[in-house]
Amino acid sequence: MKKKETPAGLEPIGEYAETSFPDIPQKLPSGVRVNIRGRSILLRGLRLPPTGIAKWLVILGPGLIATSAGNDAGGIATYSSAGAKYGYQMIWVMILLTLCFAVVQEMCTRLGAATGRGLLDLIRERFGIAWTLIAIVIIVIANGGVTISEFVGIGAASELLGISRYISVPVAAVGIWYLVIFGSYARVEKVFLAMTLVFFAYPVAAILGGPDWGKVAEGAFVPRIRFESEFIFLVVAVLGTTITPYIQIFQQSSTVERGAARKHYGPERIDAYVGSIFSNLMSISMIIATAATLYVAGTREIESAADAAKALEPVAGSSASILFAVGLLGASLLAGGVLPLATSYAISEAFGIPKGVNLDFRRGKTFFGLFTAFVVIGAIVALIPGLPLFALLVAIQVLNGVLLPIILVFILLLINNELLTGELKNSFTYNVLGWGTFTLITIAVTIMLAGQALGLFGIDLFG
Protein backbone atom coordinates (compact mmCIF):
# COMPACT_ATOMS: atom_id res chain seq x y z
CA MET A 1 0.00 0.00 0.00
CA LYS A 2 1.39 3.38 -0.96
CA LYS A 3 2.10 5.82 1.89
CA LYS A 4 0.02 9.01 1.93
CA GLU A 5 1.97 12.00 0.74
CA THR A 6 2.72 14.85 3.08
CA PRO A 7 2.37 18.22 1.33
CA ALA A 8 5.47 20.39 1.08
CA GLY A 9 5.83 22.60 4.13
CA LEU A 10 4.08 20.20 6.49
CA GLU A 11 5.96 18.43 9.25
CA PRO A 12 4.99 14.75 9.62
CA ILE A 13 3.33 13.64 12.86
CA GLY A 14 2.87 9.92 12.51
CA GLU A 15 0.67 9.46 9.46
CA TYR A 16 -0.54 13.02 9.32
CA ALA A 17 0.90 16.49 9.51
CA GLU A 18 1.37 19.72 11.38
CA THR A 19 1.18 22.97 9.49
CA SER A 20 2.18 26.57 9.87
CA PHE A 21 0.48 27.69 6.64
CA PRO A 22 -1.09 31.12 7.25
CA ASP A 23 -4.23 30.16 5.24
CA ILE A 24 -4.99 27.11 7.39
CA PRO A 25 -6.42 27.53 10.91
CA GLN A 26 -3.98 26.41 13.60
CA LYS A 27 -6.64 24.45 15.50
CA LEU A 28 -8.85 22.19 13.42
CA PRO A 29 -11.24 19.44 14.52
CA SER A 30 -10.29 15.88 13.50
CA GLY A 31 -11.18 14.90 9.95
CA VAL A 32 -11.25 18.38 8.39
CA ARG A 33 -10.36 18.61 4.69
CA VAL A 34 -8.53 21.67 3.42
CA ASN A 35 -7.62 22.73 -0.09
CA ILE A 36 -3.91 23.32 -0.79
CA ARG A 37 -2.89 24.21 -4.35
CA GLY A 38 -5.98 22.57 -5.76
CA ARG A 39 -5.59 19.34 -3.81
CA SER A 40 -7.95 18.15 -1.11
CA ILE A 41 -5.94 17.18 1.98
CA LEU A 42 -7.38 15.36 4.99
CA LEU A 43 -5.90 16.63 8.28
CA ARG A 44 -6.27 14.54 11.39
CA GLY A 45 -4.73 14.83 14.82
CA LEU A 46 -3.53 18.36 14.05
CA ARG A 47 -1.60 19.94 16.92
CA LEU A 48 0.34 23.13 17.44
CA PRO A 49 4.14 23.02 17.49
CA PRO A 50 5.61 23.29 21.02
CA THR A 51 6.44 26.73 22.37
CA GLY A 52 8.25 28.13 25.38
CA ILE A 53 10.01 25.61 27.63
CA ALA A 54 8.48 22.68 25.72
CA LYS A 55 10.13 23.92 22.52
CA TRP A 56 13.57 23.84 24.14
CA LEU A 57 12.97 20.43 25.70
CA VAL A 58 12.25 19.01 22.23
CA ILE A 59 15.76 20.11 21.15
CA LEU A 60 17.45 17.99 23.82
CA GLY A 61 18.35 14.47 22.79
CA PRO A 62 21.63 12.80 21.76
CA GLY A 63 23.81 15.47 23.40
CA LEU A 64 22.21 15.30 26.84
CA ILE A 65 21.92 11.49 26.73
CA ALA A 66 25.49 10.84 25.55
CA THR A 67 27.18 13.23 27.97
CA SER A 68 25.06 12.18 30.95
CA ALA A 69 25.91 8.52 30.28
CA GLY A 70 29.51 9.44 31.09
CA ASN A 71 28.50 9.93 34.72
CA ASP A 72 28.14 6.17 35.06
CA ALA A 73 29.46 3.74 37.69
CA GLY A 74 33.02 4.22 36.43
CA GLY A 75 32.57 7.98 36.37
CA ILE A 76 31.18 7.96 39.91
CA ALA A 77 34.12 5.81 41.06
CA THR A 78 36.63 8.20 39.43
CA TYR A 79 35.04 11.46 40.61
CA SER A 80 34.53 10.00 44.11
CA SER A 81 38.21 9.04 44.22
CA ALA A 82 39.18 12.57 43.14
CA GLY A 83 37.07 14.10 45.92
CA ALA A 84 38.14 11.60 48.59
CA LYS A 85 41.88 11.79 47.82
CA TYR A 86 42.36 15.43 46.89
CA GLY A 87 39.33 17.27 48.24
CA TYR A 88 38.33 20.22 46.07
CA GLN A 89 41.68 20.46 44.25
CA MET A 90 40.46 18.92 40.96
CA ILE A 91 37.42 21.14 40.44
CA TRP A 92 39.43 23.52 38.24
CA VAL A 93 40.33 20.54 36.02
CA MET A 94 36.62 19.81 35.58
CA ILE A 95 35.86 23.44 34.68
CA LEU A 96 38.58 23.41 32.02
CA LEU A 97 37.29 20.05 30.77
CA THR A 98 33.77 21.45 30.44
CA LEU A 99 34.94 23.78 27.66
CA CYS A 100 36.94 20.99 26.01
CA PHE A 101 34.07 18.54 26.35
CA ALA A 102 31.53 20.94 24.80
CA VAL A 103 33.82 21.64 21.84
CA VAL A 104 34.46 17.95 21.11
CA GLN A 105 30.80 16.94 21.44
CA GLU A 106 29.65 19.81 19.22
CA MET A 107 32.16 18.83 16.53
CA CYS A 108 30.85 15.25 16.54
CA THR A 109 27.27 16.45 16.32
CA ARG A 110 28.15 18.80 13.45
CA LEU A 111 30.04 16.02 11.67
CA GLY A 112 26.99 13.77 11.93
CA ALA A 113 24.64 16.47 10.65
CA ALA A 114 26.99 17.41 7.79
CA THR A 115 27.66 13.88 6.52
CA GLY A 116 24.69 11.82 7.69
CA ARG A 117 27.17 9.13 8.73
CA GLY A 118 28.71 7.76 11.92
CA LEU A 119 32.29 8.29 13.08
CA LEU A 120 33.63 4.77 12.43
CA ASP A 121 31.96 4.75 9.01
CA LEU A 122 33.91 7.89 8.07
CA ILE A 123 37.16 6.59 9.59
CA ARG A 124 36.87 3.38 7.53
CA GLU A 125 36.27 5.32 4.31
CA ARG A 126 38.91 8.02 4.80
CA PHE A 127 41.71 6.25 6.71
CA GLY A 128 41.35 2.59 5.76
CA ILE A 129 40.49 -0.65 7.49
CA ALA A 130 43.77 -0.95 9.46
CA TRP A 131 43.17 2.20 11.53
CA THR A 132 39.52 1.25 11.86
CA LEU A 133 40.41 -2.16 13.29
CA ILE A 134 42.80 -0.60 15.81
CA ALA A 135 40.06 1.74 16.99
CA ILE A 136 37.50 -1.08 17.11
CA VAL A 137 39.70 -3.42 19.18
CA ILE A 138 40.37 -0.78 21.83
CA ILE A 139 36.74 0.39 21.83
CA VAL A 140 35.42 -3.16 22.29
CA ILE A 141 37.86 -3.86 25.15
CA ALA A 142 37.16 -0.56 26.90
CA ASN A 143 33.40 -0.57 26.31
CA GLY A 144 33.10 -4.24 27.27
CA GLY A 145 34.71 -3.53 30.62
CA VAL A 146 32.61 -0.43 31.22
CA THR A 147 29.39 -2.27 30.26
CA ILE A 148 30.13 -4.84 32.98
CA SER A 149 30.70 -2.01 35.44
CA GLU A 150 27.28 -0.52 34.63
CA PHE A 151 25.51 -3.71 35.70
CA VAL A 152 27.74 -3.88 38.77
CA GLY A 153 26.58 -0.33 39.51
CA ILE A 154 22.93 -1.34 39.08
CA GLY A 155 23.41 -4.19 41.54
CA ALA A 156 25.29 -2.09 44.09
CA ALA A 157 22.76 0.75 43.97
CA SER A 158 19.77 -1.57 44.24
CA GLU A 159 21.27 -3.29 47.29
CA LEU A 160 21.71 0.10 48.95
CA LEU A 161 17.98 0.53 48.35
CA GLY A 162 17.19 -2.92 49.77
CA ILE A 163 16.84 -4.95 46.54
CA SER A 164 19.07 -7.95 45.80
CA ARG A 165 21.41 -7.62 42.81
CA TYR A 166 20.31 -11.08 41.68
CA ILE A 167 16.88 -9.59 41.08
CA SER A 168 17.73 -6.07 39.90
CA VAL A 169 20.48 -6.91 37.38
CA PRO A 170 18.49 -9.47 35.32
CA VAL A 171 15.37 -7.27 35.43
CA ALA A 172 17.39 -4.22 34.31
CA ALA A 173 19.10 -6.20 31.51
CA VAL A 174 15.78 -7.49 30.18
CA GLY A 175 14.21 -4.02 30.44
CA ILE A 176 17.06 -2.31 28.56
CA TRP A 177 17.09 -5.07 25.92
CA TYR A 178 13.31 -4.90 25.39
CA LEU A 179 13.34 -1.09 25.14
CA VAL A 180 15.93 -1.06 22.35
CA ILE A 181 14.86 -4.20 20.45
CA PHE A 182 11.14 -3.40 20.37
CA GLY A 183 11.21 0.39 20.60
CA SER A 184 11.65 3.11 18.01
CA TYR A 185 14.51 5.59 18.25
CA ALA A 186 12.09 8.31 19.41
CA ARG A 187 10.81 6.13 22.26
CA VAL A 188 14.30 5.04 23.32
CA GLU A 189 15.43 8.67 23.32
CA LYS A 190 12.52 9.75 25.52
CA VAL A 191 13.20 7.02 28.09
CA PHE A 192 16.91 7.85 28.15
CA LEU A 193 16.13 11.55 28.58
CA ALA A 194 13.83 10.75 31.52
CA MET A 195 16.68 8.84 33.18
CA THR A 196 18.87 11.96 33.20
CA LEU A 197 16.56 13.49 35.83
CA VAL A 198 18.13 11.29 38.52
CA PHE A 199 21.41 13.20 38.19
CA PHE A 200 19.88 16.06 40.18
CA ALA A 201 20.50 13.78 43.18
CA TYR A 202 24.17 14.75 43.16
CA PRO A 203 23.85 18.53 43.66
CA VAL A 204 21.41 17.80 46.50
CA ALA A 205 23.86 15.31 48.06
CA ALA A 206 26.66 17.87 47.71
CA ILE A 207 24.63 20.52 49.55
CA LEU A 208 23.63 18.06 52.28
CA GLY A 209 27.33 17.24 52.73
CA GLY A 210 27.90 20.78 54.06
CA PRO A 211 30.97 21.79 52.01
CA ASP A 212 33.19 24.78 52.74
CA TRP A 213 32.11 26.94 49.81
CA GLY A 214 35.17 29.17 50.15
CA LYS A 215 37.42 26.17 49.55
CA VAL A 216 35.14 25.04 46.72
CA ALA A 217 35.70 28.41 45.01
CA GLU A 218 39.44 28.15 45.63
CA GLY A 219 39.51 24.68 44.08
CA ALA A 220 37.56 25.99 41.09
CA PHE A 221 39.57 29.11 40.31
CA VAL A 222 43.08 28.50 41.72
CA PRO A 223 44.72 25.76 39.60
CA ARG A 224 47.03 23.43 41.51
CA ILE A 225 49.02 20.60 40.01
CA ARG A 226 50.59 17.97 42.24
CA PHE A 227 53.53 16.24 40.58
CA GLU A 228 52.69 12.84 41.97
CA SER A 229 52.14 9.68 39.96
CA GLU A 230 48.80 9.03 41.69
CA PHE A 231 47.57 12.58 40.99
CA ILE A 232 48.54 12.43 37.29
CA PHE A 233 47.02 8.94 36.99
CA LEU A 234 43.74 10.24 38.42
CA VAL A 235 43.80 13.31 36.13
CA VAL A 236 44.05 11.01 33.10
CA ALA A 237 41.21 8.90 34.54
CA VAL A 238 39.10 12.07 34.93
CA LEU A 239 39.92 13.01 31.32
CA GLY A 240 38.97 9.53 30.13
CA THR A 241 35.67 9.38 32.00
CA THR A 242 34.66 12.94 31.03
CA ILE A 243 35.53 12.99 27.32
CA THR A 244 34.98 9.27 26.77
CA PRO A 245 35.35 7.95 23.19
CA TYR A 246 32.08 5.99 23.33
CA ILE A 247 30.25 9.24 24.09
CA GLN A 248 31.49 10.77 20.84
CA ILE A 249 30.58 7.63 18.90
CA PHE A 250 27.08 7.48 20.38
CA GLN A 251 26.39 11.19 19.96
CA GLN A 252 27.35 11.26 16.28
CA SER A 253 25.55 8.01 15.41
CA SER A 254 22.37 8.97 17.28
CA THR A 255 22.41 12.44 15.70
CA VAL A 256 22.43 10.71 12.30
CA GLU A 257 19.65 8.32 13.30
CA ARG A 258 17.60 11.18 14.68
CA GLY A 259 17.69 12.69 11.20
CA ALA A 260 19.37 16.01 11.99
CA ALA A 261 19.27 18.14 8.85
CA ARG A 262 22.43 19.77 7.58
CA LYS A 263 20.54 22.88 6.42
CA HIS A 264 18.85 23.35 9.78
CA TYR A 265 21.82 22.57 12.02
CA GLY A 266 21.55 24.72 15.15
CA PRO A 267 19.31 22.99 17.69
CA GLU A 268 21.80 20.10 17.72
CA ARG A 269 24.58 22.53 18.70
CA ILE A 270 22.49 23.72 21.66
CA ASP A 271 21.88 20.10 22.63
CA ALA A 272 25.63 19.37 22.62
CA TYR A 273 26.46 22.43 24.73
CA VAL A 274 23.65 21.92 27.24
CA GLY A 275 24.50 18.23 27.62
CA SER A 276 28.20 18.91 28.24
CA ILE A 277 27.57 21.64 30.81
CA PHE A 278 24.85 19.68 32.61
CA SER A 279 26.96 16.51 32.74
CA ASN A 280 30.02 18.26 34.17
CA LEU A 281 28.00 20.17 36.75
CA MET A 282 26.81 16.79 38.02
CA SER A 283 30.41 15.50 38.00
CA ILE A 284 31.61 18.51 39.98
CA SER A 285 28.79 17.88 42.45
CA MET A 286 30.11 14.34 43.02
CA ILE A 287 33.59 15.71 43.77
CA ILE A 288 32.15 18.28 46.18
CA ALA A 289 29.95 15.70 47.94
CA THR A 290 32.81 13.26 48.57
CA ALA A 291 35.34 16.01 49.37
CA ALA A 292 32.98 17.52 51.96
CA THR A 293 32.49 14.16 53.65
CA LEU A 294 35.18 11.57 52.93
CA TYR A 295 38.17 13.90 52.51
CA VAL A 296 37.25 15.98 55.55
CA ALA A 297 36.73 12.79 57.59
CA GLY A 298 40.15 11.48 56.56
CA THR A 299 38.79 8.64 54.36
CA ARG A 300 41.16 8.74 51.40
CA GLU A 301 40.51 5.29 49.96
CA ILE A 302 37.18 3.85 48.78
CA GLU A 303 36.72 0.43 47.22
CA SER A 304 33.50 0.91 45.27
CA ALA A 305 31.08 3.56 44.07
CA ALA A 306 28.57 2.07 46.51
CA ASP A 307 31.05 2.62 49.36
CA ALA A 308 31.13 6.29 48.41
CA ALA A 309 27.37 6.42 48.90
CA LYS A 310 27.49 4.54 52.21
CA ALA A 311 30.31 6.71 53.52
CA LEU A 312 28.18 9.83 53.19
CA GLU A 313 25.61 8.55 55.68
CA PRO A 314 27.42 9.23 58.99
CA VAL A 315 28.26 12.77 57.95
CA ALA A 316 25.34 13.91 55.80
CA GLY A 317 22.54 11.61 57.01
CA SER A 318 20.75 8.71 55.38
CA SER A 319 19.05 10.95 52.83
CA ALA A 320 22.39 11.84 51.16
CA SER A 321 23.33 8.17 50.97
CA ILE A 322 19.97 7.29 49.40
CA LEU A 323 20.27 10.16 46.92
CA PHE A 324 23.74 9.02 45.92
CA ALA A 325 22.41 5.47 45.45
CA VAL A 326 19.50 6.70 43.32
CA GLY A 327 21.93 8.67 41.16
CA LEU A 328 24.17 5.62 40.80
CA LEU A 329 21.21 3.44 39.80
CA GLY A 330 19.90 5.92 37.21
CA ALA A 331 23.36 6.58 35.79
CA SER A 332 24.11 2.86 35.48
CA LEU A 333 20.76 2.15 33.81
CA LEU A 334 21.31 4.95 31.29
CA ALA A 335 24.89 3.92 30.48
CA GLY A 336 23.85 0.24 30.50
CA GLY A 337 21.75 1.06 27.43
CA VAL A 338 24.01 3.65 25.79
CA LEU A 339 27.28 1.67 25.97
CA PRO A 340 26.07 -1.50 24.18
CA LEU A 341 24.35 0.75 21.63
CA ALA A 342 27.49 2.84 21.05
CA THR A 343 29.58 -0.32 20.63
CA SER A 344 27.05 -1.84 18.23
CA TYR A 345 27.03 1.40 16.23
CA ALA A 346 30.85 1.40 16.08
CA ILE A 347 31.27 -2.21 14.96
CA SER A 348 28.43 -1.96 12.43
CA GLU A 349 29.82 1.27 10.96
CA ALA A 350 33.33 -0.16 10.77
CA PHE A 351 32.19 -3.09 8.62
CA GLY A 352 29.42 -1.34 6.68
CA ILE A 353 26.64 -3.30 8.42
CA PRO A 354 23.14 -1.74 8.56
CA LYS A 355 22.59 -0.23 12.00
CA GLY A 356 20.01 1.72 13.95
CA VAL A 357 17.28 1.30 16.53
CA ASN A 358 14.65 1.96 13.86
CA LEU A 359 15.69 -1.06 11.75
CA ASP A 360 13.50 -4.14 11.59
CA PHE A 361 14.86 -7.57 12.61
CA ARG A 362 15.57 -8.66 9.04
CA ARG A 363 17.83 -5.73 8.23
CA GLY A 364 19.22 -5.16 11.71
CA LYS A 365 19.85 -8.69 12.99
CA THR A 366 23.64 -8.17 13.28
CA PHE A 367 23.26 -4.77 14.95
CA PHE A 368 20.68 -6.07 17.43
CA GLY A 369 22.71 -9.27 17.92
CA LEU A 370 25.77 -7.25 18.95
CA PHE A 371 23.66 -5.16 21.31
CA THR A 372 22.14 -8.28 22.87
CA ALA A 373 25.55 -9.92 23.32
CA PHE A 374 26.99 -6.93 25.19
CA VAL A 375 23.95 -6.67 27.48
CA VAL A 376 23.92 -10.41 28.27
CA ILE A 377 27.68 -10.68 28.90
CA GLY A 378 27.70 -7.50 30.99
CA ALA A 379 24.84 -8.72 33.20
CA ILE A 380 26.25 -12.25 33.66
CA VAL A 381 29.78 -11.14 34.59
CA ALA A 382 28.40 -8.49 36.97
CA LEU A 383 26.69 -11.25 38.99
CA ILE A 384 29.95 -13.11 39.73
CA PRO A 385 30.38 -12.97 43.54
CA GLY A 386 33.32 -11.02 44.97
CA LEU A 387 34.43 -9.49 41.67
CA PRO A 388 37.03 -6.77 42.51
CA LEU A 389 35.97 -4.02 40.15
CA PHE A 390 36.72 -0.63 41.69
CA ALA A 391 40.37 -0.51 40.62
CA LEU A 392 39.32 -1.90 37.24
CA LEU A 393 36.74 0.87 36.83
CA VAL A 394 39.36 3.59 37.24
CA ALA A 395 41.86 1.67 35.06
CA ILE A 396 39.28 1.46 32.26
CA GLN A 397 38.80 5.22 32.44
CA VAL A 398 42.59 5.59 32.08
CA LEU A 399 42.43 3.32 29.00
CA ASN A 400 39.73 5.60 27.60
CA GLY A 401 42.01 8.57 28.30
CA VAL A 402 44.85 6.90 26.37
CA LEU A 403 42.51 6.13 23.43
CA LEU A 404 41.04 9.62 23.39
CA PRO A 405 43.88 11.47 21.54
CA ILE A 406 43.62 8.95 18.67
CA ILE A 407 39.86 9.49 18.34
CA LEU A 408 40.31 13.28 18.61
CA VAL A 409 42.76 13.31 15.69
CA PHE A 410 40.25 11.45 13.51
CA ILE A 411 37.45 13.86 14.52
CA LEU A 412 39.57 16.97 13.84
CA LEU A 413 40.81 15.72 10.46
CA LEU A 414 37.30 14.75 9.38
CA ILE A 415 35.57 17.94 10.53
CA ASN A 416 38.14 20.01 8.59
CA ASN A 417 37.61 18.05 5.37
CA GLU A 418 35.64 20.56 3.29
CA LEU A 419 34.56 17.86 0.83
CA LEU A 420 32.70 16.17 3.71
CA THR A 421 31.46 19.07 5.79
CA GLY A 422 31.28 22.04 3.42
CA GLU A 423 30.12 25.14 5.26
CA LEU A 424 29.96 23.19 8.53
CA LYS A 425 33.72 22.69 8.71
CA ASN A 426 35.63 23.99 11.74
CA SER A 427 36.24 27.68 12.17
CA PHE A 428 39.66 28.99 13.29
CA THR A 429 38.40 29.26 16.88
CA TYR A 430 37.13 25.70 16.93
CA ASN A 431 40.42 24.45 15.54
CA VAL A 432 42.37 26.27 18.25
CA LEU A 433 40.10 24.82 20.95
CA GLY A 434 40.02 21.35 19.35
CA TRP A 435 43.76 20.99 18.84
CA GLY A 436 44.34 22.61 22.23
CA THR A 437 42.20 19.88 23.81
CA PHE A 438 44.18 17.23 21.93
CA THR A 439 47.50 18.75 23.11
CA LEU A 440 46.35 19.00 26.74
CA ILE A 441 45.19 15.38 26.87
CA THR A 442 48.25 14.07 25.00
CA ILE A 443 50.63 15.80 27.43
CA ALA A 444 48.79 14.37 30.45
CA VAL A 445 48.73 10.84 28.96
CA THR A 446 52.43 11.04 27.97
CA ILE A 447 53.49 12.15 31.46
CA MET A 448 51.44 9.36 33.03
CA LEU A 449 52.79 6.65 30.70
CA ALA A 450 56.36 7.90 31.17
CA GLY A 451 55.93 7.80 34.94
CA GLN A 452 54.51 4.27 34.80
CA ALA A 453 57.30 3.04 32.48
CA LEU A 454 60.12 4.55 34.55
CA GLY A 455 58.55 3.15 37.69
CA LEU A 456 59.21 -0.36 36.34
CA PHE A 457 62.95 0.42 36.60
CA GLY A 458 62.70 1.92 40.07
CA ILE A 459 62.84 5.52 38.81
CA ASP A 460 60.35 7.98 40.27
CA LEU A 461 59.63 10.61 37.63
CA PHE A 462 57.89 12.77 40.23
CA GLY A 463 60.40 12.24 43.04
pLDDT in tens, 17-72: 444 444 444 444 444 555 555 555 555 544 444 444 444 444 455 556 666 666 67
Confidence band (pLDDT; 50, 70, 90) for 436?
Answer: very high
Secondary structure class of 43 (helix, strand, coil):
strand
Predicted pLDDT at 213: 93
Confidence band (pLDDT; 50, 70, 90) for 336?
Answer: confident
Asked if pLDDT for residue 290 goes beyond 80, the answer is yes
Predicted pLDDT at 305: 61
Q: How much is the average pLDDT of 166-194?
A: 79
Predicted pLDDT at 375: 92
* Strand residue runs (E) in 298-456: none
Predicted pLDDT at 139: 80
Confidence band (pLDDT; 50, 70, 90) for 137?
Answer: confident
Contacts 24+ apart (CB under 8 A), 169-177: 169/379, 169/382, 169/383, 170/379, 172/333, 172/336, 172/379, 173/336, 173/375, 173/376, 173/378, 173/379, 176/333, 176/336, 176/337, 176/340, 176/375, 177/371, 177/372, 177/375
Express as a percent the part of the chain with pLDDT over 70: 72
pLDDT in tens, 156-178: 888 878 889 899 999 999 988 88
Predicted pLDDT at 206: 84
Asked if pLDDT for residue 289 goes beyond 80, the answer is yes
Asked if pLDDT for residue 183 goes beyond 80, the answer is no
All structural domains of the chain: 1-49 (no CATH), 57-455 (1.20.1740.10)
Residue pair 414/425 in contact by the 8 Å Cβ criterion: no
Mean pLDDT of the chain: 77
Asked if pLDDT for residue 198 goes beyond 50, the answer is yes
Question: Which whole-number Å values give the CA distances from 45 to 4, 8, 316, in the listed order?
Answer: 15, 18, 51
Asked if pLDDT for residue 394 goes beyond 50, the answer is yes
Q: What is the largest distance, in Å, between two alpha-carbon atoms of the chain?
A: 85
Of the ranges 104-108, 251-255, 300-304, 339-343, which is most confident?
104-108
pLDDT in tens, 404-424: 888 899 999 999 998 888 888
Question: Which whole-number Å values give the CA distances from 176 to 172, 211, 340, 374, in the listed order?
Answer: 6, 36, 10, 11
The mean-pLDDT minimum among 107-116, 152-161, 273-282, 352-361 falls in 352-361
Q: How much is the average pLDDT of 260-275?
A: 75
Predicted pLDDT at 169: 92
Neighbours of 453 (CB within 10 A): 11
Q: How much is the average pLDDT of 261-281?
A: 79
Nearest to 352 by CA among 66, 114, 113, 123: 123
Predicted pLDDT at 62: 56
The mean-pLDDT minimum among 47-51, 301-305, 344-348, 430-434 falls in 47-51
Confidence band (pLDDT; 50, 70, 90) for 96?
Answer: very high
Neighbours of 259 (CB within 10 A): 10
* Selected residue with higher pLDDT from 93 and 448: 93
The mean-pLDDT minimum among 371-375, 392-396, 410-414 falls in 392-396
Predicted pLDDT at 170: 93
CA distance 358 to 266: 24
Predicted pLDDT at 2: 39
Q: How much is the average pLDDT of 232-252?
A: 81
Q: What is the pTM of this model?
A: 0.74
Predicted pLDDT at 282: 86
Q: How much is the average pLDDT of 171-192?
A: 77
Predicted pLDDT at 34: 52
